Amino acid sequence: MAQLAGYTSFHHFRVTSAGPAVAHVEINRPNKLNAFHEAMWLEMGHIFRQLSTDPEVRAVVLSGAGDRAFTAGLDVTAASQDSPLAPGNKGPTDVGRKASFLRRHIDEFQQCIAAIEKCEKRTKHA
């Protein structure tokens, strides 16, 4: 399968052509069971927002690289180290600002995940 033009700059996903007008998005972190960390969910949101408006794509297939798992979900180790609540994080220190910062962070995460649902193309999970 050939890389799709305009989708070659992603580090954690491969976006290829699965056939005429069909994009294949492959989660590409098999050594970690395709577990997600922040950079991955940001990439995924970008990919699906881009696919949603791509006139050359009518359908999307989503799969995970490797033979052990589609995805293990959240990479808990990475999340505990990169979290806005992790010790040493240089975020706001007072409770109100910290809660507001955390709410925006969670909303950004949810919007990236929702990009799959909101994609204007038919999506098939392989």
Residues in the chain: 126
State the Cα–Cα distance between residues 33 and 89, nearest whole angstrom. Answer: 27
For residue 87, the one-letter residue type is P
Three-state DSSP class for 105?
helix
Domain contains 1: no
When divided into structural domains, the chain yields a total of 1
We report the CATH number of the domain holding residue 70 as 3.90.226.10
Is the Cβ–Cβ distance between 24 and 18 less than 8 Å?
Answer: yes
Share of the chain above pLDDT 90, in %: 65
The model's pLDDT over 2-55, given as tens digits with 9 standing for 90+, comes to 889 899 999 999 999 999 999 999 999 999 999 999 999 999 999 999 999 999
Domain contains 99: yes
Three-state DSSP class for 58?
coil
Domain that holds residue 28: 13-125
Cβ atoms within 10 Å, residue 32: 16
Domain contains 67: yes
Averaged confidence pLDDT in the chain: 89
Highest mean pLDDT among 27-41, 71-85, 112-126: 27-41
